[in-house]
Amino acid sequence: MTPRSRLRAADLLAVGTVGLRSRRVRAVLSMLGVAIGIAAVVSVLGITRSSQADLLARIDRLGTNLLTVVSGQSLAGSEVPLPATATGVIAGTEGVLAASATADLHGPVAARSELDTTGGVGIRAADTALLSTLDGQLAAGTFLTEATARYPAMVLGHRAAQALGIADLAGDPRVSVGSAWYAVVGILRPVELAPEIDSSALVGLAVAADRLGYDGHPTRIYVRTEVARTTEVRGMLARATNPQNPSQVTVSQPAEALVARLAAADAGTALFLGLGAVALLVGGIGIANVMVISVLERRGEIGLRRALGATRGHVAVQFLVESLVLGAAGGTVGVLAGTAVTHALAYRHGWQPLIPPLAVAAGLAAAVVIGAVAGVYPALRAARLAPTEALRTA
């Protein structure tokens, strides 16, 4: 009795990659689709995780217990004055740690000369506690004090300083407001939760009253609350600000905008993952197509192997292994490419690169499964070829 031929597990890889090694360009192109799909999935998840971690860290650092109180906007888009007593009443509200008033004065601001007017920079009166209430930081100089608030001194927001061309305090820079000159005593770092401060030139309440027509009515009040009571305090501020017309007062939480960005990022992630899935599907179809063509081109090889004793199972396994290798290789390349893209973008934006282990494992698993599924039909087709027919049509 003729012994039945056997295919050792140790020989599977060598036999299964014969076609890949002899047709290298085709193999690379066929696994490229899978690699692109896996790279898209890994990079999207990695970039999303990195950006979300950075955003959450910023939210924690900035705090969610900052509230702003305004009274709507006029038809011209300017802030509407609040009652003159609003700041004091808010500061005395239970659960409030600090309250700082500002007032939009709508004055033209120019640097170095009145002819050099710079658009986009507003003049805003601010009390001396504003920096601590916002938990802001100075890039240069000092903030307004009880002394400088009475004199023509000014602190520039980050974007205001850029717009006016003032990078530091070298040379004692001055800024004109109307016909008067103000000495720049400080420049702020970006205040992410108060973008209106970034684009403002800040002067003291006293000098604003003396020279700029400030009538004592703030237009925006920043409120720092006890963290555990932020929601409770938010519900009380409208009536505390304007007891007669609380419905005209708007109380907002700036950190909500950052939280909304997390939700937007999640929505964008789902979209890009869908695109990655489409790329994976295209890659799987590409592998199946290449494998079917390979079966047709290698009929002579299949017939010769069958004539020499290889079983249908041996032939099927050979082509299935070839398809699995294509999928696994594409998945590996895709994971490496996705990781590289994530690190590059994270480095560019100053994030800590984070690659979810689940994304790597799922990406590799998906690539192998796609390779297996794509190789089933070509493997069965190759196995069904009779030796005589395969040799006759070779």
Q: What is the DSSP code string of 101-141?
A: EEEE----EEESSTTSB-TT-EEEEE-TTHHHHHT--EEEE
Taking the C-alpha atoms of residue 207 and residue 217, their distance in angstroms, rounded to an integer, is 14
Least confident of 39-48, 93-102, 172-181: 39-48
The one-character DSSP state at 2 is P
Q: Mean pLDDT across the chain, nearest whole number? A: 77
Give the pLDDT band (50/70/90) at residue 251.
confident
313: three-class secondary structure by DSSP:
helix
Q: What are phi and psi of 133, to 5 degrees?
A: -65, -40
Q: What are phi and psi of 251, to 5 degrees?
A: -110, 120
Q: Which pLDDT belongs to residue 268?
A: 55
Q: What are phi and psi of 322, to 5 degrees?
A: -60, -45
**∠ Cα 47 52 55 (to 5°):** 125
The one-character DSSP state at 392 is H
Residue pLDDT, tens place only, 329-371: 888 888 898 899 889 988 888 888 888 888 788 888 888 887 7
Neighbouring CB atoms inside 10 A of 13's CB total 12
84: three-class secondary structure by DSSP:
coil
Q: Which residue has the tokens 């893209």?
A: 341
Q: Which pLDDT belongs to residue 124?
A: 92
pTM given for the model: 0.59
| Residue type at position 375 | G
Closest CA to 227 of 100, 129, 130, 95: 95
**Cβ-contact 303, 387 below 8 angstroms:** yes
HSE, CB side, 13 Å, CA atoms: give it for residue 142. 8
Residue pLDDT, tens place only, 128-157: 999 999 888 899 999 999 988 999 999 999
Taking the C-alpha atoms of residue 359 and residue 273, their distance in angstroms, rounded to an integer, is 11
Q: Which pLDDT belongs to residue 41?
A: 80
Q: Is 26 exposed, middle or buried (0-12, 13-18, 19+ CB in 10 A)?
A: middle
Classify the C-alpha dihedral 260-344-32-314 as positive or negative: negative
- Greatest Cα pair distance, the chain, in angstroms, is 115
Mean pLDDT of 247-269: 67
Give the pLDDT band (50/70/90) at residue 269.
low
Q: Which pLDDT belongs to residue 323?
A: 77
Give the pLDDT band (50/70/90) at residue 306.
low
Give the pLDDT band (50/70/90) at residue 2.
very low
Q: Which pLDDT belongs to residue 355?
A: 84
Q: Which pLDDT belongs to residue 271?
A: 59
Whether pLDDT at 20 is above 80 = no
Whether pLDDT at 110 is above 90 = no
Q: Which run of H or E residues covers position 250?
A: strand 250-252
**Cβ-contact 184, 173 below 8 angstroms:** yes
Calculate the alpha carbon distances from 330 to 327, 333, 337, 339 in Å. 5, 5, 10, 14
Q: Which pLDDT belongs to residue 117?
A: 42
Q: Which pLDDT belongs to residue 47?
A: 81
Calculate the alpha carbon distances from 281 to 276, 378, 389 in Å. 9, 17, 33
Taking the C-alpha atoms of residue 283 and residue 394, their distance in angstroms, rounded to an integer, is 29
Q: Which run of H or E residues covers position 98?
A: strand 96-104
Closest CA to 346 of 51, 45, 39, 40: 51
Taking the C-alpha atoms of residue 150 and residue 122, their distance in angstroms, rounded to an integer, is 19
Least confident of 27-31, 74-78, 363-367: 74-78
Q: Which residue has the tokens 């990655």?
A: 276
Q: Higher model confidence: residue 219 or residue 1?
A: 219
Whether pLDDT at 394 is above 60 = no
Q: 223 - beta bridge partners?
A: 67, 99
Taking the C-alpha atoms of residue 238 and residue 226, their distance in angstroms, rounded to an integer, is 17
**Cβ-contact 335, 366 below 8 angstroms:** no
Q: Which pLDDT belongs to residue 177?
A: 83
